[in-house]
């Protein structure tokens, strides 16, 4: 038996398995780097997307804050206008411009509101506690 032939076959086998293992090892290393690179790219894309959304929301917040400020100013202006229009000096001025005179109402124009509670039906659901009746003074 030739011992060298056996050694040559086993050495050849070792070289082939070593070559196969280095190729598969390299594939695993490349796959690992690709996976890490893709995760890094995914994280960066997510961060970019998140920053874009945050910037858009900040723009919306600024827009609505500006709108709230404008509406508050408009409300304040309307309150001032209401106070000016309901002041007695303005009412007198408008009455003189429109030539309206203040005078007592006719007795026919007067009506009284009489509130009478219904004592019998207080415990019933769906009924008003008070009735309003219009009574004219004649």
Rounded-to-integer distance, Cα 62 and Cα 41, Å: 31
> For residue 11, what are its two tokens?
């050495």
Q: Using CB atoms within 10 A of its CB, is residue 119 exposed (0-12), middle (13-18) or buried (19+)?
A: exposed
Q: Decide: 136 and 105 in contact? Cβ < 8 Å.
A: no
Q: What is the pLDDT of residues 26-51, one digit of tens each?
A: 888 899 999 999 999 999 999 999 99
**Number of neighbours of residue 30 by Cβ within 10 angstroms:** 10
pTM of this structure: 0.47
Contacts of 66 by beta carbon, 8 Å cutoff, 6+ apart: none
Between strands 130-136 and 111-117, the pairing is antiparallel
Which stretch of DSSP H or E encloses residue 3? helix 3-86
CA-CA-CA-CA torsion sign (36, 42, 45, 50): negative
Q: Does 82 score more than 80 pLDDT?
A: yes
Is the distance from CB of 71 to CB of 95 less than 8 angstroms? no
Q: What is the pLDDT of residues 105-135, one digit of tens each?
A: 888 888 887 776 665 555 555 555 455 445 5
């Amino acid at each position: 038996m030739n011992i060298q032939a056996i050694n040559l076959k086993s050495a050849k086998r070792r070289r082939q398995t070593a070559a196969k293992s280095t190729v598969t090892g390299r594939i695993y290393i490349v796959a690992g780097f690709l996976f890490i690179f893709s995760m890094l790219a995914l994280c960066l894309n997510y961060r970019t997307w998140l920053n874009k959304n945050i910037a858009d929301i900040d723009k919306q917040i600024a827009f609505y804050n500006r709108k709230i400020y404008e509406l508050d100013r408009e409300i304040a202006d309307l309150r001032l206008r209401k106070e000016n229009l309901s002041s007695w000096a303005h009412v007198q001025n408008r009455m003189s411009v429109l030539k309206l005179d203040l005078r007592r109402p006719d007795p026919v124009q007067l009506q009284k509101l009489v509130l009478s509670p219904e004592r019998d039906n207080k415990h019933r659901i769906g009924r008003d506690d008070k009735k309003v009746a219009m009574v004219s003074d004649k």
